[in-house]
A and B are shown apart, each in its own frame.
Chain A
Amino acid sequence: MTPALSTRGLCKSFGLLEVAREIDITLPQGARYALIGPNGAGKTTLINLMTGMLAPSAGTIRLNDEDITALTPQDRVRRGLTRTFQINTLFPALNALEAVTLAVCERRGVAGNFWSRLSGASDAVDEAHEILRTLRLADCCYQPTRELPYGRQRLLEIALALATRPKVLLLDEPAAGVPQAESGEIFEAVAALSGSIAILFIEHDMHVVFRFATHIIVMVAGAVFAEGPPQAIAEDARVREVYLGTRRHG
């Protein structure tokens, strides 16, 4: 079966600084992959390369067997590759309904319509509201984003991504900065995502990783260090040494 997303020989350097080295990753359909590694390993850089925010020095990226290496970021989103940001990258003055409606309109290709009324684009608005409802954001959807509590904003990050109807979803630390008590809601939302979406998520919390991931990729210093099923990674002495420390997980 064609992999949902794959990279071959992906490299990126800034002068002498190599931030990505010969990265070969294959994400199968419906995957639940975790990307872990110490700070500065290049995880977010990899996502930036995959989504086109950064141009690679070498290598190719394929999305459902189409070479997307030369495509603009927005074209990749239109073909089904979406990401969320580690730091909330939202629209402060727009409310959640407006923000998600905008994403839906962009997907439907109607965002360029300056003649029709927004209130008339009822399908888009209803779809947006439905997405917000499933993420339990419907009750606060008329408040400006900047007034929402941090945990709700993280959920809105995911809502925006879902509005693009992704086939591959790259989540950059979805619960970053969210207190322990609230992070459960975010992971429930992630767990509830459709099995047809292939997910790669960056995460630091090992409990979460072992709970949700079926496959773990470990990155160190810009290269893939190890990968495999969670148990194998947990027991890999080299990984423990470089990242997990000596405590046992499982």
Chain B
Amino acid sequence: MTPAAATPRAYLRAQSRWSPIEIAFWLATLTSYLFFPDYLSLGSQIAIAALFALSLDLILGYAGIVSLGHAAFFGTGAYAAGLFSKYVWGEPFSGLLIGGAAAALIGYASSLIIARFRHLTRIMLTLGIGLLLAEVANSAHDITGGSDGLQGMRIWPLLGFFKFDLYGKVAYGYALIVLFAVFVLARRLIHSPFGLALRGIRENWVRMPAIGASRASHIRKIYTISAGIAGIAGAVLAQTTQTVSLEAIGFGRSADVLVMLVLGGAGRLYGGIIGAIIFMVARDQFSGVAPQYWYFWIGLLLIGVVTLMPNGILGGLSALQARWRGR
């Protein structure tokens, strides 16, 4: 609800302002130390998943690119950071950068392939690239450890002082800080001219060249950035668990992150985070039970979301809000 008298600049500024709910949300994440001290390991897993989902949101929610192989970048980042700590040195922040850079490189190479295509062809290419990289990780088991997982990682204490402990206290803080820092950057990207261009690509593929836009160049850029962020998430996973397994790069992880994002609502920046919280908490609850039950409810949930709430939870909430305001 914007008054028509607002100037264009004021309108755009209002769009990008931090709302009180947002600030409250981020402050609330810190309270986990107080309210959920036994669940901090889960908390860091959630933060990692949220960061991964955020990276997918950039290409899916904002540029409209459906990817069934995004774990390729997550896994690349994880293995890169893991191998870096094993063979070079174990300082965490530099490991993050290495993981992000390696994933961004693979992302850029992939973008050269997928930028020209659409629809099923593009979906299949993302799937194919993901499966290819998973196979590489599997085959190169001398380097990656294969199905036994990467062994021998040595992560130094954060800032030389905070050792990663068994209770996950440092891990949670680390994952949360990385999530927040990247989130702020992603938020800035969304509210930049580039963010507008991405939405333009999503909204009308054909119109973009007709206004002088170089679609392929925009897609390559966001794909690379998204891959880099996914890689950072993977690196955090590697560093906080001190190992990397094949499931970090497998199809299951690609499917899970897609479900998380859709559950929360794509294209709303917070959708991935909300979806990650709900998905990971639910899965933790199901962890004692046979996997069939998990599949059943997730399947039902997907069917429900698609038929009843196509824009996810955040979409449903904003529709309710619009109706309540009487538009």
- A residues in contact (CB < 8 Å) with B: 51, 53, 72-74, 77-78, 82-83, 85, 89-94, 97-99, 101-103, 105-107, 110-119, 121-122, 124-126, 128-129, 139, 141-142, 160, 163-164
Q: B9 to A74, Cβ gap below 8 A?
A: no
Q: B13 to A94, Cβ gap below 8 A?
A: no
Best-surrounded residue of A74, A97, A105, A114 (most CB of chain B within 10 A): A114
- A89's contact among B6, B193, B210, by CB below 8 Å, is which? B210
Q: B196 to A98, Cβ gap below 8 A?
A: yes
- B210's contact among A51, A97, A107, A126, by CB below 8 Å, is which? A51
Chain B contact-residue range equals 35 or more
- Residue B38 interfacial (CB < 8 Å): no
Within 8 A of A (CB), among B172-214: 188-189, 191-197, 199-200, 203-204, 206-214
Q: A105 to B203, Cβ gap below 8 A?
A: no
- Residue B225 interfacial (CB < 8 Å): yes
Minimum CB–CB distance from B108 to chain A (whole Å) comes to 15
10 A-B residue pairs with Cβ-Cβ distance under 8 Å, sorted by A, are A51-B210, A53-B209, A72-B209, A91-B199, A92-B203, A94-B199, A94-B200, A114-B189, A118-B191, A119-B16
Minimum CB–CB distance from A73 to chain B (whole Å) comes to 4
Q: A111 to B213, Cβ gap below 8 A?
A: yes
Minimum CB–CB distance from B202 to chain A (whole Å) comes to 8
- Residue B4 interfacial (CB < 8 Å): yes
Q: B212 to A112, Cβ gap below 8 A?
A: no
Minimum CB–CB distance from B83 to chain A (whole Å) comes to 29
Chain A residues lying within 8 Å of B209, measured Cβ to Cβ, are: 53, 72-74, 77
Minimum CB–CB distance from B82 to chain A (whole Å) comes to 29
A125–B196 Cα gap in the complex (Å)? Answer: 12
A114–B58 Cα gap in the complex (Å)? Answer: 12
- A91's contact among B4, B203, B212, B221, by CB below 8 Å, is which? B203
- A94's contact among B16, B203, B218, by CB below 8 Å, is which? B203
Minimum CB–CB distance from A72 to chain B (whole Å) comes to 7
Minimum CB–CB distance from A81 to chain B (whole Å) comes to 10
Chain A residues lying within 8 Å of B117, measured Cβ to Cβ, are: none
Given contacts A112-B217, A112-B221, contact A103 B196 (CB under 8 A): no
Chain A residues lying within 8 Å of B212, measured Cβ to Cβ, are: 74, 77-78, 103, 106-107, 164
Best-surrounded residue of A51, A93, A119 (most CB of chain B within 10 A): A119
Chain B residue at smallest Cβ distance from A95: B11
Chain B residues lying within 8 Å of A91, measured Cβ to Cβ, are: 199-200, 203-204, 207
Chain B residues lying within 8 Å of A90, measured Cβ to Cβ, are: 203-204, 207
Minimum CB–CB distance from A223 to chain B (whole Å) comes to 26
Within 8 A of A (CB), among B204-240: 204, 206-215, 217-218, 221, 225
Best-surrounded residue of B6, B199, B207 (most CB of chain A within 10 A): B207
Q: A102 to B214, Cβ gap below 8 A?
A: no
Q: B200 to A118, Cβ gap below 8 A?
A: no
Given contacts A89-B210, A110-B193, A117-B188, contact A122 B9 (CB under 8 A): yes
Minimum CB–CB distance from B245 to chain A (whole Å) comes to 33
